[in-house]
Amino acid sequence: MSHDEKTPETPGPAALHGLLAEYDTPAGILAASQKIRDAGYSRWDTFTPFPVHGIDKAMGIKMTVLPWIVLGAGLSGLATAIALQWYTNTFDYKWLISGKPFFSIPANVPIMFELTVLFAGITALVAMLVLNNLPLPSHPLDFVRRFARSTDDRFFLLIEAADPKFDEESTKALLEGTHPAAVETVKEDNVTSNKLPKVLIYGVVILTVIATVPFALAAKARHATSKQTRIHAVLDMDAQPKYKAQRRNPVYADGRSTRLPDPDTVAVGDLREDSHFYRGKMNGGWARTFPPQVRLEDATMKRGQERFGIYCQPCHGVGGEGNGMVAKRAEELQQGTWVPPTNLTQDYLRQMAVGELFNTITNGIRNMPAYGPQITTEDRWAIIMYLRALQRGHASKTAGLPPATGGTN
Amino acid sequence: MATAKKTSKGKGGGSDRKDEAPSSAEPKKSPKAKVDDAALQTLVPGVSDNIRLGGEGSALFVKAAGIAVVSLGIAAAMGASQGDDFRRFSHSYLVAFAVGLAISAGFLYWVTLQHLVNSHWSVVLRRIAEVFAANAPVLAVLSLPIVLPVLGGQALIYDWADHAKVEADHLLHHKAPYLNPTFFAIRMIFYFGFWTLLSRFFLKGSLRLDETGGAEIIPSMRRVAGPAMIVWALTLTFCAVDLLMSVDAHWFSTIFGVYFFASCVLCVHAMLTLTVLWLQGKGRLVKSVTVEHFHDVGKMLFAFTVFWAYVGFSQFMLIWYANVPEETAWFKERFAHGWADVSWALLFGHFVFPFFGMLSRHIKRNRKTLAFFAVWMLAMVYLDMYWLVMPNVLENPEFALMDVFNVLGIVSALIAAAAQRAKSINLLPTKDPRLARSLAFENI
């Protein structure tokens, strides 16, 4: 070792970086670390091929601040998730989904969990790199031949010349007192740059710029219109090889996609010969009696009451007076186009043939839509049966009833 | 409750704290004066420890067995005085039994897992787990007050056990091919039979290793551990479904077995912590089990509070989102009346508080704070089981001494059986080739 090279800040080769000691065993480096720690050095480190138990304590390494950083990042992730969902769901773009509240915690928990983990995880990685001064493209130890064995079977201890207590003579004496296999001086690295390669930096910058392009395009698209058709990402789903109803179909002469049944044919089970039961007609006029298929009994009446409650009551009201919830609401809104539902207890309806009532339910009348497709034939007759009961109830006079049950019609 | 269970080992825990407090960071210290040096046995060069329970085991057996018999007797008497044909008592007993099941089945899982992954760090703790896991036959006997009424066709807990109720209920009728008394009893025999065989296999193999030192036993146990783990998972899932989910046989949840599994793992690590602290209070395993082992057990305890919350919420959110009446009914019951308070208590007591409480490594490396959270989590597992079962019989949660005596009785019975088993064997596998590494284990 030549002393004239020791002058600090000398341009040119080989300023002193520090002193490197090599040990054969984990026990050796543990003992050495304790000595260096107790001697009060601050800028030094150890290099071992595997984690050595107790090295933290031997080196006097303090608890890292990393857990607190990760905790902070995790909580910010949580806060971000809550704020993001609150802003989008209750403020920026309200969207009512099956009657659930706009901001409801259960639905938000998965995002809260994910963002907490994401923020904490990424921060743990980045903060760990920063706290460890990584990435480190070059280090003077890279040029020490024996140091290669630090990933194999040797244990190393490096004291940097930058340490305030460093003195080449005394430090070397101290290290030699720790029974090392060897002590070697390490020169500063004047050959390679300690900076990240330019290519890498430019590469990252260019990739970052490219990565913003999709976002920029999306942002532009939000505020612009386009005459071009949209991009079909999944072509065979957007353009399926089939003919839809109401579309042109070149296969047939009439060009229709929707086909009518062939003339003079009836689908199996669709032959409805019984005019009384299916259409309410008898001998060319409206039937005045219930068809024989309808059983005039309690069960049918119950069924009719239930179906009436489902299909008729919303407009015609519980008692059939034409004052259902829909009618009330429509009157409240006072819109001119509304035609009030018929009061089913009127006299002319009491006199009306059951066949005609059946036809009205089946095919609708004026504003009332056809209920044939929704209510089965039997149920339509059951509803009429119940309607007859309602009409009777309305027409009855309390005076005509026996005193014991007066007023309970 | 778990706090009550603590009293059965409270003295040990208390003296242990006194013992360990000055050196909570450094486990190396001489055992208490009353332990004579002749009891020390050299485990590896440089480490000797007292690893025989001996008289302390007999004393604990007498104490715990006494508490178990008296507690269960008092609880049964209280149940009889209710005048509801033991209906309230049966539910209370089932809650306590579920905690006992979580402890026993959990320890068996833990032993199987250590063999499966060839774990080194846990070798010093494995014997304790093997001893507790071998409680499966004890648990089978304790299950009789639940299984026998079912076989007798009495719907004390389970509506599906009563033939008349099944005939009157379409859904129960539909499920009857599975949920019927005979098949239920057969399944119980299978579960407890399998657990008994498996736990005896591991304990016997481990003891044989103590005698012969033939390390070839270890790979043979590892080979069994893989398939055994699969069968164990299935038996636990079905057992949880049979005992706990079928309390409300109309309701179902496919994640229920996993939900109960979380309680099993929590119980294992809480019980390991408390057992080792008691043993160290008696001067056993003082040098073998270090703060590093406690730290790892604490990590698992912490991790599984999160796991429990994850699974519990997964179960809740899917049901909440789909809003299908046959699924929501179960939660509606638990969000109404006083049960809403219990639900909130679980959310905060079973997850939020222990999560932030155990987040720091200092908490997990301190025997006192770790012991606190071990007791806390056992109490929360009890509350969880209470919340699963009790709405079936109570419109509002209500405190009853019967509940305390039941869980005290069942957990004491398990401790008594474990003490009886442990008193004449080594408290750790002395000839396990991985022991040295386990003793020197350190968290990086």
Q: Whose CA is closest to A140, among A192, A209, A207?
A: A192
Query: What residues of A are in contact with residue B316 (Cβ under 8 Å)?
Result: 106
CA distance B180 to B185: 9
- Whether the bond into A135 is cis, omega within 30 of 0: yes
The first and second tokens of residue A324, run together, are 């259902």
Query: b vs e for B282-314, b when ≥16 Cβ sit within 10 Å of the residue's Cβ?
Result: bbbbbbbbbbbbbbbbbebbbebbebbbebbbb
Query: What residues of A are in contact with residue B331 (Cβ under 8 Å)?
Result: none
Query: What residues of A are in contact with residue B320 (Cβ under 8 Å)?
Result: 106
Of B320, B360, B442, the CB nearest to A106: B320
B442 in A contact zone (CB under 8 Å): yes
Query: What residues of B are in contact with residue A97 (Cβ under 8 Å)?
Result: none
Residues 6 or more apart in contact with residue B20 via CB below 8 angstroms? B277, B280, B367
- The residue among A194 and A285 whose pLDDT is bigger is A285
Q: CA triplet A166, A167, A171: central angle to 5 degrees?
A: 80
B323/A107 Cβ within 8 A: no
Of B360, B361, B444, the CB nearest to A51: B444
CA distance B9 to B275: 8
**Mean pLDDT in residue range B297-322:** 95
Q: Whose CA is closest to B239, among B116, B146, B372?
A: B146
Mutation target among B306, B315, B321 for the A interface, most CBs of A within 10 A: B321
B443 in A contact zone (CB under 8 Å): no
Query: What residues of B are in contact with residue A50 (Cβ under 8 Å)?
Result: none
pLDDT at B372: 97
**pLDDT tens sequence across B116-151:** 999 999 999 999 999 999 999 999 999 999 999 999
B323/A71 Cβ within 8 A: no
Query: What residues of A are in contact with residue B360 (Cβ under 8 Å)?
Result: 67
> How far does B339 lie from chain A, in Å, by closest CA?
19
B437 in A contact zone (CB under 8 Å): no
Q: How many CB atoms lie within 10 A of CB A215?
A: 9
Query: What residues of B are in contact with residue A53 (Cβ under 8 Å)?
Result: 440, 442
Q: How many CB atoms lie within 10 A of CB A34?
A: 16
Global pTM value: 0.73
Confidence of residue A15 (pLDDT cuts 50, 70, 90): confident
pLDDT at A403: 62
pLDDT at B54: 85
- CA-nearest residue to B440 within chain A is A53
**Mean pLDDT in residue range B175-203:** 96
| C-beta of residue A309 within 8 angstroms of C-beta of residue A326 | no
For residue A167, is pLDDT > 80?
yes
CA distance A325 to A333: 12
Distance of CA A321 to the CA centre of its chain: 49
B18 in A contact zone (CB under 8 Å): no
Burial bucket for residue B3 (CB in 10 Å: 0-12, 13-18, 19+) = middle
Which residues numbered 302-321 in B keep a CB inside 8 Å of some CB on A? 310, 313, 316-317, 320-321
N-terminal to C-terminal alpha carbon distance within chain B:
36
**pLDDT tens sequence across A108-156:** 999 999 999 999 999 999 999 999 988 888 888 988 999 999 999 999 9
3-class DSSP assignment, residue A281: strand
The first and second tokens of residue B307, run together, are 């796991």
Confidence of residue A266 (pLDDT cuts 50, 70, 90): confident
CB pairs under 8 A between A and B: 18
Q: Tell whether the torsion through CA atoms of A240, A243, A247 and A248 is positive or negative.
A: positive
Instruction: Tell the residue number behind the tokens 């957007």, with chain if given.
Output: A238
A53/B320 Cβ within 8 A: no
B359/A98 Cβ within 8 A: no
HEC letters along B152-168: CCCCCCCHHHCHHHHHH
B317/A106 Cβ within 8 A: yes
A71/B359 Cβ within 8 A: yes
DSSP annotation string for A31-68: HHHHHHHHTT--SEEEE-SSPPTTHHHHHTPPPPSHHH
Query: What residues of B are in contact with residue A75 (Cβ under 8 Å)?
Result: none
Distance of CA A233 to the CA centre of its chain: 21
pLDDT at B1: 38
CA distances to A379, B168, B415 from B178, rounded to whole Å, are 39, 17, 34
ipTM: 0.79
B440 in A contact zone (CB under 8 Å): yes
Query: What residues of B are in contact with residue A51 (Cβ under 8 Å)?
Result: 444
| Structural element, H or E, at residue B209 | helix B181-212
B313/A109 Cβ within 8 A: yes
**Mean pLDDT in residue range B163-178:** 93
Stretch among A211-220, B36-45, B355-364 having the lowest mean pLDDT? B36-45
| C-beta of residue B419 within 8 angstroms of C-beta of residue B57 | yes
Question: How much is the CA Rg of chain B, to the nearest whole Å?
Answer: 22
pLDDT at B239: 97
Instruction: Tell the residue number behind the tokens 């079909």, with chain if given.
Output: A232
